[in-house]
Amino acid sequence: MKYFSTRGVGPVSLDDALRLGIASDGGLFLPEALPRFEVSDFDGAQTIPAVAHVLLQPFFAGSALAGDLDSILAETFSFPIPATPLPAAGRDVSLLELYHGPTVAFKDVGAGFLAACLSRLEGDVENPLTILVATSGDTGGAVAAAFDQRPGMRVVVLFPDGRVSERQAHQLCCWSDNVISLKVQGAFDDCQALVKGAMADPELSRRHRFSSANSINIGRLLPQSTYYADASIRHFRRTGHKPGFIIPTGNLGNAFACIMAREMGLPIGPVILATNANRTIADYFETLEWLPRASLQTLASAMDVGDPSNMERLRHLVGDADVLRDQLGVLSVSDEQFEASIRQDFRDFGIATCPHTATASHTRRQLDWELAERHDWILVATAHPAKFETIVEPLIGTAVPVPPELEALLSRPARSISVEPTLASLATVLE
């Protein structure tokens, strides 16, 4: 299968799309066409790796990695992704727990897959590949964990100083010498701009062999589409209903993966995007004008994105705002609203939810009654609440147990470098 930029450049192979991360014209890679599936195509697939094999095999056609697909998937899905029922919610509602990986966040799936692919394609110890990753909290830790100590790979993590939780910051900075952690004196959007600027700079790119592990890289989105495929198939087999998904949304990569799965014919009903007070997406759906702006700092810090990159993919795949509004819903959730939802989730279900997940549960409670009762719903839990204990614990009145994966990371020493949000500052560190 061939891949084209959203701005027209191409075709390139999957291998080149993974290596490059972003197209030479500044666009984002998408496959030339999406394959179509029926639920019956997955009849023999009883595990996530098996579902992923069926779903992703067409994307690997012609790739040097085609023969490694099963081993790549075994590495990627080495932890469970359960859907936990919420019985008190009335209509069939469940919580898709994407936080059982090594850094207890959903980013572990995409990062692990990308690392497994690139380490097989590259891995030149004499001329290492430099992975640039901007993070609003979880992506950088997942990417660092996935590439840690891999020969021929160097990772540069850029995160906004003071805008991630203490535990998130620690897991961004506790890795081996092939991971460089940079505290950027700015917002996430500054970090993302530095990554895009560096990759667009011919001289820097020549010297350092850049690739990206943000959701601008198609290698992040392909595996993420598989857990939506798996969850929807399991639900459909059990109930005969197509579930709707409510997805906490920042840079739109996770949500786009769900939409891509639906476009491929998976049994997925309505898709609702839950954003925080950063209203760029919500305002776009209301006004039909795309107006990126500086991000606002919220308690749901991983969603603090004012210029979501994957909107370019979404508009290319589905259409402009008037078309998108027919296929998606959006709700902007304030800090006060998801704080109240954290309290209510604990009262109603006996579970602690992180601030990002709580935007989804709040959104479910705010749905139009007819829409809410017409569909079963899967709420997407993007991170373990223990990463945000200073927010969650005062709200629920009890300690959140720290999972062993996070405990192991917190016990490691951390180190970082402070940089200004300029390309010159980044270039100095890279040398």
211-240 residue pLDDT tens: 888 888 999 999 999 999 999 999 999 999
Element of type H or E holding 5: strand 2-5
Most confident residue range from 1-5, 118-122, 135-139: 1-5
AA letter at 268: I
Architecture field, domain 80-106+219-407: 3-Layer(aba) Sandwich (3.40)
Rounded to the nearest 10 degrees, how much is the dihedral formed by the CA atoms of 49, 134, 287, 328?
Answer: 10
Give the chain's mean pLDDT: 94
Query: What is the tens place of the pLDDT at every residue in 371-401?
Result: 888 999 999 999 999 999 999 999 999 999 9
pLDDT band for position 111 (50/70/90)? very high
Q: Which two structure tokens, joined as six digits, stand for 370?
A: 């007819």
Contacts of 102 (CB under 8 A, 6+ apart): 79, 108, 112, 142, 145, 146, 405
Which value, in Å, is the radius of gyration of the alpha carbons in the chain? 20
E runs forming strands in 115-270:
129-134, 153-160, 179-184, 210-212, 244-248
Phi and psi based region of residue 123 (left: phi greater than 0; alpha: psi -120 to 50; beta: remaining) = left
Which residues is 285 bridged to in the sheet? none
Pairwise CA distance, residues 37 & 233, whole Å: 11
Per-residue confidence at 286, pLDDT binned at 50, 70, 90? Answer: very high
Report the distance separating Cα 194 and Cα 293, nearest Å. 16
Q: Do residues 205 and 198 make contact, with C-beta atoms less than 8 angstroms apart?
A: yes
| Weakest-pLDDT range from 73-77, 181-185, 368-372 | 368-372
Nearest CA-CA partner of 163 in 124, 130, 136, 195: 136
Half-sphere exposure of 113 (CA within 13 A, CB side): 26
Position 47, amino acid: T
- 12 has a pLDDT exceeding 90: yes
Task: Compute the distance between CA of residue 48 and CA of residue 146 in angstroms, rounded to an integer.
Answer: 19
Q: Which residues, in sequence order, are CB contacts of 232 under 8 Å at separation 6+?
A: 242, 243, 245, 261, 266, 267, 268, 378
Label residue 126 by pLDDT band (50, 70, 90).
Answer: confident
Query: What amino acid is encoded at 302 in this protein?
Result: A
pLDDT at 321: 82
**Looking at residues 93-111, what average pLDDT do you find?**
96
The predicted model gives 190-209 an average pLDDT of 90
Does the pLDDT of residue 322 top 90, yes or no?
no
Neighbours of 119 (CB within 10 A): 18
Cα 349 from chain centroid (whole Å): 26
pLDDT at residue 200 in the model: 86
Between CA 173 and CA 168 the distance in angstroms is 9
How much of the chain is helix, strand and coil, in % rounded to 5? Answer: 50, 15, 35
pLDDT at res. 369: 86
Q: What is the mean pLDDT of the segment spanning 309-337?
A: 92
- Per-residue pLDDT tens for 15-72? 999 998 889 898 999 999 999 999 999 999 999 999 999 999 999 999 999 999 999 9
Contact 192, 307 (CB under 8 A): yes
Q: How confident is the model at residue 320 (pLDDT cuts 50, 70, 90)?
A: confident
Would you place residue 414 in the very low, low, confident or very high pLDDT band (cuts 50, 70, 90)?
Answer: very high
Q: 355-366 and 335-349 helices cross at what angle (nearest 10)?
A: 80
Mean pLDDT of 333-358: 96
pLDDT at 88: 63
CA distances from 398 to 254, 337, 385, 388, 401 (A): 30, 20, 12, 13, 9
Q: Tokens standing for 377? A: 């719903």
What per-residue confidence (pLDDT) applies to 174? Answer: 95
